[in-house]
């Protein structure tokens, strides 16, 4: 399936990652020691040119095409290497600036993402505008050459360590719902910005909510035309829901690990269910390859990113539920420790899988996109 060139590239990447991989498991990135460990690893990737291999060479990447990027992601996932702490900038924010930003914005912001002197987070979700993204209430008021922001962002991944946020703000209250929105980059140390850590159900403390009170940012930080942020955001959303970033590799590895670690009993049906989950993981892998082929040919991917996002959350939830079935009552055991201690890995991964039905667009949102854009069904009535 893979060309000789891709096979050779896989061997090259595999050799480097295996030789340079961390020798121990990192602390969570939201702790002081953990952040230092992650940044040291990121610096090693950057020095080797592996910080963002798919970025164009003019922006500091290796200029890899979609298939080479997929190979890199598969090898990274296969070794279960540390989560990329700047993935919001590397995968969503940075490419959006490449696509829609001015040369001055690209020069000012992209190097900091690559070398991790700036950690980016995404400011899309709000308390009353999560799935209904266009229902956002955070406003941007133009005063001279500044945009004065007021509002609240929430469920902000990496918000506790980020230095910059790309956010959507409403800059024209009289415009229709999906217009009058602007896409803006702001420094999180701006006066009037307050970041509050949020502890999640699965024990992860990397979330934050961000409050904006008369926070003034330069108008020059608006990416794309003023009031056309909804169109700009579609680039970021497609990037978030689309390419697997090794997700298919992680999914297959997880099923195999559970099968090896816990076994299965044909009499209880668990063997059949594990087999079914692995078949779905394989199908997800093949769909990822199909998307990679579509992108490499420069074709429109249509609703396929939404199909992948929908199936991703459903497959992962099914795998983790089967793990809990196999564990039985052991699935509910919590080791002795303080109440604020992180959940055991099995419980943490289960709740994280369940969150997949919400983050990056809920299951209902993905079904609407698929039904309307791929199947041509009538649009759901909007308020």
Contact 133, 105 (CB under 8 A): no
CA-closest candidate to residue 51, choices 84, 18, 74: 84
The SS3 assignment for 150 reads: strand
Half-sphere exposure of residue 383: CA atoms within 13 angstroms, side-chain side: 4
174 included as an active-site residue: no
Which strand (E) or helix (H) includes residue 167? strand 164-170
Here the tokens at position 126 are 């709000």
- The one catalytic residue in 74, 75, 126, 240 is 240
The SS3 assignment for 231 reads: helix
C-alpha span between 83 and 42 (Å, rounded) = 10
DSSP string for 32-51: HHHHHHHHHHHHHHHHTT-S
E strand intervals along the chain:
120-123, 139-143, 146-153, 164-170, 181-187, 193-198, 207-218, 222-223
Residues contacting 92, CB < 8 A, separation 6+:
122, 166, 236, 239, 240
The residues annotated as belonging to the active site are 240
């Amino acid at each position: 399936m893979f060309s000789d060139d891709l096979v050779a590239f896989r061997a090259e990447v595999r050799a480097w990652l295996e030789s340079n991989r961390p020798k121990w498991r990192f602390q969570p990135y939201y702790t002081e020691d953990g952040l230092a460990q992650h940044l040291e690893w990121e610096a090693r990737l950057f020095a080797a040119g592996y910080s963002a291999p798919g970025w164009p060479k003019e922006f500091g990447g290796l200029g890899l095409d979609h298939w080479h990027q997929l190979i890199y992601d598969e090898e990274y996932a296969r070794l279960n290497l540390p989560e990329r702490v700047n993935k919001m900038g590397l995968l969503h924010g940075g490419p959006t600036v490449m696509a829609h930003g001015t040369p001055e914005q690209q020069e000012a912001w992209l190097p900091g993402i690559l070398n991790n002197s700036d950690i980016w987070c995404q400011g899309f979700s709000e308390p009353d505008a999560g799935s209904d993204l266009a229902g956002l209430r955070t406003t941007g008021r133009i005063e001279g050459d500044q945009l004065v922001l007021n509002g609240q962002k929430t469920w902000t991944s990496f918000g506790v360590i980020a230095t910059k946020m790309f956010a959507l703000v409403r800059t024209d209250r009289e415009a229709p719902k999906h217009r009058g929105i602007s896409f803006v980059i702001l420094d999180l140390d701006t006066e009037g910005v307050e970041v509050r850590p949020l502890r999640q159900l699965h024990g992860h403390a990397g979330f934050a909510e961000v409050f904006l009170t008369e926070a003034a940012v330069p108008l020059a930080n608006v990416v794309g035309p003023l009031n056309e942020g909804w169109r700009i955001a579609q680039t970021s959303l497609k990037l978030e829901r689309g390419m697997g970033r090794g997700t298919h590799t992680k999914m297959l590895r997880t099923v195999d690990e559970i099968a090896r670690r816990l076994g299965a009993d044909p009499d209880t049906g668990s063997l059949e269910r594990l087999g079914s989950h692995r078949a779905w993981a394989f199908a997800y892998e093949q769909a990822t390859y199909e998307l990679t082929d579509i992108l490499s040919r420069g074709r429109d991917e249509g609703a396929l990113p939404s199909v992948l996002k929908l199936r991703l959350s459903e497959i992962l939830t099914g795998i983790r539920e089967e793990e809990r079935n196999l564990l039985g009552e052991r699935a509910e055991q919590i080791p002795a420790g303080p109440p604020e201690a992180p959940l055991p890995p099995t419980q943490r991964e289960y709740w994280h899988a369940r969150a997949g039905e919400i983050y990056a667009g809920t299951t209902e949102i993905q079904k609407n996109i698929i039904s309307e854009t791929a199947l041509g069904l009538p649009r759901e009535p909007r308020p």
